[in-house]
């Protein structure tokens, strides 16, 4: 049974239809990606589910147990509370239970026997509710969630009015994750997250036992997390089972099938009209022709989109000019040697050395604030290094896309901005070119200062194409672009034969277009470490696999060290009589104790995972049984470690 169900939802603003006959179901525990072009109604759909926007027509059915938590793209705070107070607000149910428990505990001491018995029963019930709600560890959860999303505890006492936009977005996300909701509505949750925090969020949502509907342009997240994709197409919801990659394959099949069905409909209409035209005056067939005409008119009236061609929405498509003689070139395009850049006492880059050769595609990644954009500015000679050298090959035409959009003149209109790059083209030709970048009609006369983030990026890409670059240097080129536009950029870069250097947080994008990675500001496990760097051949997927392997190896090394410690501790000690509580292990070898330790640790991890099972945490008796099992295993593990230490003595 779905948590929430929408049936035939219709919403319009004046003559503009946003959603038309949209239907979908969301089920407990499932992770769903919500995608579609910018402006198709994704955020509006979230607000309909939340109840803050009312549809014109249609039915919405919600289960009584439904609890929704909603993350908007730009969370809003009053500004008078501190970060920590806001985080505590997300656990109001726990705090209220805690207050009730404290008050009841004070009352119990003053009550008589009969009243005290009733109050004790109530106290027991409240403490169980408090435990089930996570009351005993919610302070730890607050700290872990804040740390995972990059919220520094040194800022806990700052009022929200003192926080940056990125900090406010991460605070809003943290609050949502700390609630007891069973359906999360997340609108672009990875905005303002660096890749380390994004990885943490991905792991968190994988373990989250309840449902989540996620609007995101982060296809890497959608690929690794969701089991269903909802694509808002032509104001309706197309549902696909599987992750993003599965959706892409299935969507291509559907488009082909829809094309065949459209062609069959067209042929049917043409044949029917031809039959009517040939037989309308034929004495023997006149009645049949009239009957078919009536049926045809009824069909088209009842199905106004019967002859609509599928896939008719406009999409971005462009290409970069090819660089001549690239197949023969092996020269160095960018050389960096012992480069260091400091700001006051902060060292962003230290002794950085690498080369980029003609035709290479270098992706630059790392946590926020580790010097990625700084490196590009150093390469372009916009700023000077503290020490060392970085040089682009001379006489190259460089195509630079800046994430702040400083390459655009805010005083120009859209058509003036492109006209400045190609002054020889007539206005009609310029308008035709801009149409390919989705600027149609009066859009070409918009002021650059009035453009949205996505429009600014499309305009910057249009300018970039006309520079005919021999090297592309792109700083967060996918910012503000919807998925179809990002995929158009990917295709253009894959077909381009020049050199590409890209800073991007879009993991899926980098996975497709980069064949070499420069990782800035991290240690070998991916933790932030300013000044450190690593140069790797391969994709970003290869890098994340490498991080997982390194983390796994570290855990194994740590386990071996833990097992080795008793040997060192007891090595010089004389043999002692076995304590009574360890005599059960007298006949065991050291190797058997080691094996038992490993097996028991694995069993404990399995038990921990079972605490997230809805059937268990909603059943007090099952929960008590599982806790007892955990305590027994944990005590047994402690005995095993003591036995190991004793045997190694």
Q: Could you please report the per-residue DSSP string of 121-176?
A: HHHHHHHHHHHHTTTTTHHHHHHHHHHHTT--GGGTTSBGGGS-HHHHHHHHHHHH
pLDDT digits (tens, 9 = 90+) for 503-559: 998 989 999 999 999 999 999 988 889 999 999 998 888 898 898 888 888 877 776
- pLDDT (0 to 100) of residue 562: 61
**Cα dihedral 32→37→43→45 (10° resolution):** -70
H or E element in which residue 352 lies: strand 346-357
pLDDT band at 569 (very low <50, low <70, confident <90, very high): very low
User: Is the pLDDT score of 409 beyond 60?
Assistant: yes
- CA within 13 Å, CB half, 172: 28
- pLDDT (0 to 100) of residue 532: 94
3-state secondary structure of 579: coil
pLDDT digits (tens, 9 = 90+) for 157-192: 999 998 888 889 999 999 999 998 999 999 999 988
**Maximum CA pair distance of the chain?**
119
Instruction: List the chain domain ranges.
Output: 248-302, 332-540, 583-648
Mean pLDDT, the chain, integer: 86
Phi, psi torsion values for 471, nearest 5 degrees: -145, 140
pLDDT band at 456 (very low <50, low <70, confident <90, very high): confident
pLDDT digits (tens, 9 = 90+) for 294-334: 999 999 888 887 888 776 566 788 899 999 887 777 789 99
C-alpha to C-alpha distance for 2 and 97, rounded to whole angstroms: 30
Q: Which residues of 611-630 are buried (b: 16+ CB within 10 A; e: fewer)?
A: eeeeeebeeeeebeebeeeb
- pLDDT (0 to 100) of residue 574: 44
pLDDT digits (tens, 9 = 90+) for 388-400: 999 999 888 999 9
Name residue, tokens 């910057």. 460
C-alpha to C-alpha distance for 371 and 349, rounded to whole angstroms: 7
Helix axes of 590-610 and 540-570: crossing angle, nearest 10 degrees: 130
pLDDT band at 573 (very low <50, low <70, confident <90, very high): very low
User: Is the pLDDT score of 618 beyond 60?
Assistant: no
pLDDT band at 611 (very low <50, low <70, confident <90, very high): low
User: Is the pLDDT score of 425 beyond 80?
Assistant: yes
Closest CA to 376 of 345, 346, 407: 407
User: Is the pLDDT score of 127 beyond 90?
Assistant: no
C-alpha to C-alpha distance for 390 and 339, rounded to whole angstroms: 7
Say which DSSP state 26 is in: E
| Three-state SS sequence of 389-429 | EEEECCCCCEEEECCCCCCCCCCCEHHHHHHCCCCCCCHHH
Phi, psi torsion values for 358, nearest 5 degrees: -55, 130
C-alpha to C-alpha distance for 399 and 501, rounded to whole angstroms: 10
- pLDDT (0 to 100) of residue 619: 64
C-alpha to C-alpha distance for 602 and 165, rounded to whole angstroms: 42
Strands 16-26 and 236-241: unpaired
CATH number for the domain whose boundaries are 332-540: 3.40.50.300
Which residues share a beta bridge with 61? 5
C-alpha to C-alpha distance for 605 and 603, rounded to whole angstroms: 5
């Amino acid at each position: 049974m779905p948590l929430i169900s929408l049936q035939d939802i219709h919403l319009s603003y004046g003559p503009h239809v946003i959603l038309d006959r949209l239907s979908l179901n969301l089920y407990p525990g499932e992770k769903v990606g919500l995608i579609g072009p910018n402006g198709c109604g994704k955020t509006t759909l979230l607000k309909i589910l939340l109840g803050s926007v009312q549809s014109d027509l249609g039915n919405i059915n919600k289960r009584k147990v439904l609890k929704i938590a909603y993350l908007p793209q730009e969370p809003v705070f009053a500004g008078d509370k501190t970060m920590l107070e806001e985080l505590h607000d997300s656990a109001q149910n726990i705090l209220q239970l805690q207050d009730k428990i404290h008050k009841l505990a004070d009352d119990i001491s003053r009550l008589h026997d009969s009243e005290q018995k009733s109050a004790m029963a109530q106290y027991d019930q409240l403490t169980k509710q408090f435990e089930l709600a996570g009351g005993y560890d919610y302070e730890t959860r607050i700290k872990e969630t804040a740390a995972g999303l990059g919220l520094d505890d040194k800022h806990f006492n700052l009022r929200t009015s003192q926080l940056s936009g990125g900090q406010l977005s991460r605070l809003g996300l943290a609050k949502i994750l700390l609630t007891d909701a069973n359906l999360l509505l997340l609108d672009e949750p990875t905005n303002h997250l660096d890749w380390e925090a994004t990885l943490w969020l991905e792991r968190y949502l994988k373990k989250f036992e309840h449902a989540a509907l996620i609007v995101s342009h982060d296809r890497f997240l959608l690929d690794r997390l969701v089991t269903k994709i909802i694509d808002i197409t032509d104001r309706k919801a197309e549902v696909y089972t599987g992750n993003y990659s599965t959706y892409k394959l299935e969507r291509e099949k559907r488009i082909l099938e829809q094309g065949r069905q459209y062609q069959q409909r067209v042929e049917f209409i043409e044949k029917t009209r031809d039959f009517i035209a040939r037989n309308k005056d034929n004495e023997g067939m006149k009645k049949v022709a009239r009957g078919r005409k009536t049926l045809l008119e009824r069909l088209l009236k009842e199905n106004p989109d019967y002859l609509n061609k599928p896939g008719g929405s406009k999409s971005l498509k462009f290409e970069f000019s090819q660089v001549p003689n690239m197949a023969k070139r092996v020269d160095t395009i960018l050389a960096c040697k012992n480069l260091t850049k400091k700001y006051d006492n902060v060292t962003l880059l230290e002794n950085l050395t690498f080369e980029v050769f003609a035709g290479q595609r270098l992706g630059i990644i790392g946590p926020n604030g580790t010097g990625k954009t700084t490196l590009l500015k150093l390469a372009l000679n916009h700023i000077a290094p503290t020490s060392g050298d970085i040089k682009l090959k001379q006489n190259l035409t460089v195509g630079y896309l800046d994430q702040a959009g400083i390459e655009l003149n805010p005083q120009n209109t859209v058509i003036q901005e492109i006209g400045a790059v190609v002054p020889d083209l007539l206005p009609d030709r310029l308008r035709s070119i801009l149409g390919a970048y989705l600027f149609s009609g009066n859009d070409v006369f918009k002021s650059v200062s009035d453009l949205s983030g996505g429009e600014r990026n499309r305009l910057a890409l249009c300018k970039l194409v006309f520079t005919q670059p021999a090297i592309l240097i792109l700083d967060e080129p996918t910012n503000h672009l919807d998925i179809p536009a990002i995929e158009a950029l990917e295709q253009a870069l894959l077909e381009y034969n020049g050199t590409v250097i890209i800073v991007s947080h879009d993991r899926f994008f980098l996975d497709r277009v980069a064949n070499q990675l420069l990782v800035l500001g991290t240690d070998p496990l991916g933790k932030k470490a300013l000044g450190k760097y690593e140069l790797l051949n391969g994709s970003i997927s290869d890098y994340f696999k490498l991080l997982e392997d390194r983390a796994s190896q570290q855990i194994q090394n740590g386990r071996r060290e833990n097992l080795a410690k008793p040997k060192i501790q007891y090595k010089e000690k004389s043999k002692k009589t076995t304590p009574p509580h360890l005599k059960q292990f007298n006949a065991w070898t050291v190797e058997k104790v080691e094996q038992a330790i490993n097996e028991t640790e694995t069993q404990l991890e399995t038990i921990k995972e079972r605490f997230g099972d809805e059937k268990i945490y909603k059943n007090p008796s099952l929960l008590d049984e599982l806790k007892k099992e955990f305590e027994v295993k944990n005590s047994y593990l402690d005995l095993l470690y003591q036995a190991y230490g004793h045997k190694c003595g």
